[in-house]
Amino acid sequence: MGIHGLTRYCYQNEDSTSTLVEDLHGKTLAVDFVGFLYHLCEQLYLEAPADAHLSAPAWLLLGGACSLPAALCTVPMGSDVSVLRSVAVVGCPLRLERWVESWLQRLRARKIRLVFVTDPPQCFGGAEHRKSYCLADRAQQKTEHIDQVSQSLKSLLFEAAPAKAALVEGTEAASVVPPPPSPTQRSKVAKSLLQTNGRFPFAREKLRGVLKKHGIPIKTASREADEELGDLVRTQGAFAVLADDSDFMCMRGIRYIPFKKLTFQQDPQSTEPATILARVFSPDLVAESLGLEVNQLVDLALICGNDLTPMLDNEFNMAASLNFPIQRRRASTSLNPRDAAQWIIGHLPTLENPVLGQIEAARKGFLRGLFEVYRFYGHSAAFLKKFPMKIEPMLAKKKMNSYKKLVDRLDYPMMAIDILETKSRGLSQRFDPLYELLGREGKTLDGMLATTRFLSYLALNASVVEEQSMTSKVKVRMKPWDFMVTFLTIPVHARSTKAVDRMFRSLIFMLLYQDPKGGPKASQLAGILGKPDKKGMAVKTIVYSLLVLWKSDRTYLAKASLLNDRLLETFLLTSLVCLTLDSSKHASTTREPLAFDDRFLNMETYAVVAGYLEALKQVHQLRLVLGNKLPQTSGCASLFSAEVFARVCCSLMQNDGRAKTKKSPKNSSAITREDVNAVAKAFGAELPDSNQLWIEYAFVRATMKHLKALITVPTTGVPATGNGKTVVVRALENAVRKGSSLEGDASEQLGLDPKTEQFVPAVNVDPVQQVLAPPLPMGAPPLPPTPFVPPLPPALPSHLQASAPSFDPRPVTNLMPSSVAKRLKSESAVTQDTSYVPESEPKEPVSLKGLMETLPVFAHREEILENVAVNQLTIIQGETGCGKSTSVPQFLHDAWARDRASSERPVNIYVTQPRRIAAIELANTVARMREGNEFDEDGVVGKVIGYRIGQKQMTSSKTKITYVTTGYMVERIIHDPEALQSITHLVLDEVHERSMDVDLLLLLLKLQLNDHPHLRLVIMSATMDAKVLIKYLGKALSTRLVNRKPLFVGSKLFPVKNVCLDEFNRWFPNLWRRCNKEMSFMNDQFQTLAQSRMRAKSEMAMKAISKVHEKQLVVIEEMVRQLIEAHRNQA
């Protein structure tokens, strides 16, 4: 917000308040992240609607070029701005990323470095935020803007109601077109919308992703971003601050460049990069222009007013006590800077005024609040010299740093930090189309998707969260479900990708099915949506958001439901197109103008789109709260665009119009392959492979359809969702039809049944029917706090039934892996042309309790323990799979745990493994084997069982068995000669591999074993010659070996039978026929080798054996093929 009136004054007198720097080559700029974000959104709003072929209000109401996340643009670039406009002409979320990338590319060409600083969570300001009054005033102004938008839009959208009604009734009003609103009216509505919403949905996350992809640091401030930006310039960390805040014009010792004053100048005759010019403002020049000293600029801020003065005025009556020339009643009230400067010249500096002490004596805390102002402008030393005081941090430094790491490294939402610290959350103020609908005054988007929002509170383990709006406060009380308890004990940064993905799915399933597993079919279907990578998580976010939106639409709006299957499919196709465009490497091209008249859109259309965007936002935030495991440089997937949505609707409508004379398919509401081809054609070279788009869309749609069929919702009063038109579909039809160049009427517009369905007014739904009670709507009186306990899976009530037919076991050709199709009682559908086969869902972990007793090595437990007790060296040999690696360390630990009272020292067992993955997996397996054992262990890695590999470790003070890599053990002994002193048992596994690390570790142990008589060394192998080890280490032991023979444990888990070539025909009848040449060749070679007297390692013998191996591979491949064919025939 800055100092009132100072920006206008400095711009009007920029020659005296600033200097022109003609080239910023090689400079470093400290950029205000939030200011840059809002500036980008404003610039994109000013430039995009004309390209998007949508009016400015429609473009904003449909979410702008929003994405998951979205909304970027650039600063003015002088005469060369048209170059950027051609980079991203129209229509897809890539417009946003390309704007910023083009801007960064020009700065990089001039070797300009950027450092972004963002504001911290609100809780960093303490329990009583210093800007609380200013924030409240802004909220009030925003409420007034929302009221203005509401009134303006009603006149804009509803003044053409007669014409729309005529269209619905099917009269001759097809030629009636509502009169277009005046440009002034549209401009006024668009400006109010922009002031209301500020930035586009998910803009923050998208910008963070783009900057991190380019390696540009983003630092979360400890207090205010403006303060840390000023500190960067004062400490020579940056040349100037790039922002949009007049506060910087009064900060001591900095240089300030407004976004609008950074321009690019390209010489048309030169091939050199564009020169970057900047108008640089400095407090020295501003003070000189006003006739003040630099330190008097703080007085200017106090008199003119800034974000902190409302608190000082309201709580301490500062303006009246100090006789300021203006008595502020609201934060927006201010005095002209030139008049304020004249008053300052004739009065004492505020810091020298004796009245300050009197104000502090009357009410404690005034000087502390005034100090914040002086520190903000860089004059804290002068203030503390006058009024010495101890400044305590608002938040403990350790806790603050941990929160900042969550934000900077894991992209944790700011609201999540506020909930963790203050147990409260302020619901965002924005224009809500659902609240504005006639007959739905009691319904809001916040209420519609409250249940999804509550899932994030559960993931944060917040038992009570107070949701605050302008008119009410509601306390939400929650208790985590049992399946979440173990997950919540793991720190966010230590959660595995699979664990996060599994919990993400379980929480969504609880919302949809009241069951964390959703049943066997739901788990399988969710698993095939994709891997837990960027694309897979994006697809899951899309599908989960649509399912959540569909259920909320059915339960919250009841008879006033706005969604049907066709709209759901249109949203799905739009999001998949955005996702494909986001990952496409093809350059954006100029597209044909849209045949779309947004004057025919209605508030219902905007409400549905806003609902989908809100669902995307809530589901995305839930995933971030659980733990963002995607790489920092992966960026953000773009999942929705108003421009893409309009173009998809046009393409579907026009394709249906061309095909209206053809025979309608059985399911006329479903989007067909021809529809997808038309959509791909509309995007030109950016979507060259329409076949791939159809495969992905059909696969995801089939999966979503089956997941939706498993949801149960109340059916009383809910309109049919098949082919019936909704008021939203009808509005889209009219918008496309009136803007289309097609001749005549399209009877099958948007692929729906031409029979009309009258819109049913809303009927209020009792909140008790909701799975989770939503917060109160705007304007409603607050309810008393009600304890909230997440529901357990209930029995199916008699009044509930499936919302769609049960799973249809028909084949899904080319879309589903055969293993999944079989489990779903569907025919195999894997063909050679299948290009999209996601991984199957990993199975739920199976309990391993009691597994150790079933392994062959368990029979030798007592023998192993007795041998270890009397020998410093024990060698164990056993076949792979007999249980040596998992069981032997447990034998040693359990023997100590049962008799720990008589032990001289606590047990500390280290187990070496040749590879990192083996160490990690063994630690996880052993921990699960010990879950619920006689020692009451919980099976969590990092407690009794842990691992250490390289720089990563999962151990604690309770760890007794640690799996490590051989290399780690070598490094530890080399750097810490006393390392073996704290280890009681050292188990070397897989010694037969004889790597360099193994040999080096054996050498180090040979040199030190004699100095550590307490250490017990256990060497395990499947094939190693024990005599070699005993001979090598025997003389290095501190005590004489009692048993010099190895212990043989285990047995082969499965019998092995040797089969000759001529016996293969018994199991593979067609093998000889198909591999006749290969079998004959191998038979001849074997006979030749057997009859010849050549040495086995001779050159001729080696060549012959190599040829045999080649033929064996051909035979094996054919054997596998026949096995697969036999399996398919049996299935």
Structure tokens at 480: 């985590």
- By percentage, how much of the chain surpasses pLDDT 70? 71
Using alpha carbons, list the distances in angstroms from residue 268 to 80, 102, 265. Answer: 10, 18, 9
Q: What's the structural domain count of the chain?
A: 5
Count other C-beta atoms under 10 Å from residue 288's C-beta. 14
Identify whether residues 217 and 313 lie together within a single domain.
no
CA–CA separation, 461 and 481 (whole Å):
10
Structure tokens at 615: 């669902």
Identify whether residues 100 and 24 lie together within a single domain.
yes
CA–CA separation, 603 and 5 (whole Å):
38
For residue 962, the domain's CATH number is 3.40.50.300
Query: Does residue 152 lie within any of the structural domains?
Result: no
CA–CA separation, 833 and 814 (whole Å):
7
Identify whether residues 975 and 1086 lie together within a single domain.
no
CA–CA separation, 484 and 503 (whole Å):
8
Q: Which residues pair with 714 in a beta bridge?
A: 800
Q: Any residues with CB less than 8 A from the CB of 413 and at least 6 apart, and which?
A: 621, 624, 625
Residue 1019: burial class (beta carbons within 10 Å; 0-12, 13-18, 19+): buried
Using only the alpha carbons of the chain, give its radius of gyration: 36
Query: Does residue 1096 lie within any of the structural domains?
Result: yes
CA–CA separation, 78 and 819 (whole Å):
59
Confidence of residue 192 (pLDDT cuts 50, 70, 90): low
pLDDT of residue 835: 36
CA–CA separation, 284 and 17 (whole Å):
8
Structure tokens at 557: 């709006």
Query: Does residue 830 lie within any of the structural domains?
Result: no
Identify whether residues 265 and 381 lie together within a single domain.
no
CA–CA separation, 641 and 94 (whole Å):
10
Q: Any residues with CB less than 8 A from the CB of 1028 and at least 6 apart, and which?
A: none
Q: Decide if pLDDT at 232 tops 90.
A: yes
pLDDT of residue 744: 35
In residues, how long is the chain?
A: 1131
Confidence of residue 282 (pLDDT cuts 50, 70, 90): very high
Identify whether residues 793 and 940 lie together within a single domain.
no
Q: How do beta strands 873-878 and 240-243 pair? A: unpaired
Pick the last residue of a domain from 1025, 1049, 1073: 1049
CA–CA separation, 793 and 749 (whole Å):
41
Q: Any residues with CB less than 8 A from the CB of 264 and at least 6 apart, and which?
A: 77, 78, 80, 106, 274, 275, 276, 277
Cα distance between the two ends of the chain: 69
Mean pLDDT (whole number) for 719-724: 46
CA–CA separation, 514 and 796 (whole Å):
10
Predicted model pTM: 0.62
Angle between helices 161-169 and 727-739 (to 10 degrees): 100
Identify whether residues 963 and 946 lie together within a single domain.
yes
pLDDT of residue 154: 55
pLDDT, tens digit, 9 for 90 and up, residues 1031-1081? 888 888 888 888 888 888 865 444 556 777 667 767 777 787 788 888 888
Identify whether residues 628 and 766 lie together within a single domain.
yes
Side-chain-side CA neighbours of 334 within 13 Å: the count stands at 20
Query: Does residue 208 lie within any of the structural domains?
Result: yes
| Enclosing domain of residue 377 | 293-386
**Can you tell me whether residue 30 is helix, strand or coil?**
strand
Pick the last residue of a domain from 284, 306, 328: 284
Structure tokens at 1011: 């100095």
* Contact present, 253 and 378 (Cβ < 8 Å): yes
Q: Any residues with CB less than 8 A from the CB of 1037 and at least 6 apart, and which?
A: 872, 873, 1009, 1010
Residue-by-residue DSSP string for 541-584: HHHHHHHHHHHHHHHHSGGG----HHHHHHHHHHHHHHHHHHH-
Highest mean pLDDT: which of 137-146, 301-310, 633-642? 301-310
Which region among 558-562, 779-783, 1093-1097 has the lowest average model confidence (pLDDT)?
Answer: 779-783
Identify whether residues 502 and 591 lie together within a single domain.
yes
According to DSSP, residue 775 is labeled P
* Residue from 72, 52, 48 nearest 200 by CA: 72
Q: Which residues pair with 962 in a beta bridge?
A: 910, 946
Q: Provide the mean pLDDT of the chain.
A: 76
Pick the last residue of a domain from 793, 818, 843: 818
pLDDT of residue 1025: 78
Query: Does residue 823 lie within any of the structural domains?
Result: no
Query: Does residue 168 lie within any of the structural domains?
Result: no
Q: Decide if pLDDT at 28 tops 50.
A: yes
Identify whether residues 800 and 869 lie together within a single domain.
no
- By percentage, how much of the chain surpasses pLDDT 90? 29
Identify whether residues 806 and 885 lie together within a single domain.
no
Mean pLDDT (whole number) for 904-919: 91
* Contact present, 511 and 550 (Cβ < 8 Å): no
CA–CA separation, 665 and 677 (whole Å):
17
Structure tokens at 911: 């187990």
CA–CA separation, 601 and 728 (whole Å):
8
pLDDT, tens digit, 9 for 90 and up, residues 426-485? 887 676 777 777 445 578 888 888 999 999 999 999 989 998 876 778 899 988 999 999
Phi, psi of 219 (to 5 degrees): -110, 130
pLDDT, tens digit, 9 for 90 and up, residues 350-364? 999 999 999 999 988
CA–CA separation, 920 and 926 (whole Å):
10
Count other C-beta atoms under 10 Å from residue 1043's C-beta. 14
For 443-464, the three-class secondary structure string (H helix, E strand, C coil) is CCHHHHCHHHHHHHHHHCCCCE
Residue 225: burial class (beta carbons within 10 Å; 0-12, 13-18, 19+): buried
Query: Does residue 144 lie within any of the structural domains?
Result: no
User: Of all helices (H) and strands (E), which one includes residue 320?
Assistant: helix 318-321
CA–CA separation, 6 and 19 (whole Å):
17
Which region among 89-93, 307-311, 322-326, 1125-1129 has the lowest average model confidence (pLDDT)?
Answer: 89-93
Q: Any residues with CB less than 8 A from the CB of 585 and at least 6 apart, and which?
A: none
Identify whether residues 600 and 712 lie together within a single domain.
yes
pLDDT, tens digit, 9 for 90 and up, residues 103-139? 999 999 999 999 999 989 888 875 455 555 556 666 6
For residue 1111, which amino acid is it?
Answer: K
Phi, psi of 837 (to 5 degrees): -125, 90
Q: Decide if pLDDT at 622 tops 90.
A: yes
Query: Does residue 158 lie within any of the structural domains?
Result: no
Side-chain-side CA neighbours of 353 within 13 Å: the count stands at 20
Identify whether residues 1075 and 1036 lie together within a single domain.
no
**Can you tell me whether residue 872 is helix, strand or coil?**
coil
Structure tokens at 85: 């406009």
* Contact present, 1104 and 1088 (Cβ < 8 Å): yes
Phi, psi of 645 (to 5 degrees): -60, -45
Contacts 24+ apart (CB under 8 A), 778-783: 778/432, 778/435, 778/444, 778/469, 778/470, 778/471, 779/471, 780/442, 780/471, 780/472, 781/472, 782/472, 782/473, 782/474, 783/474
Residue 844: burial class (beta carbons within 10 Å; 0-12, 13-18, 19+): exposed
Confidence of residue 792 (pLDDT cuts 50, 70, 90): very low
* Contact present, 64 and 654 (Cβ < 8 Å): no
Residue 126: burial class (beta carbons within 10 Å; 0-12, 13-18, 19+): middle
Count other C-beta atoms under 10 Å from residue 908's C-beta. 16
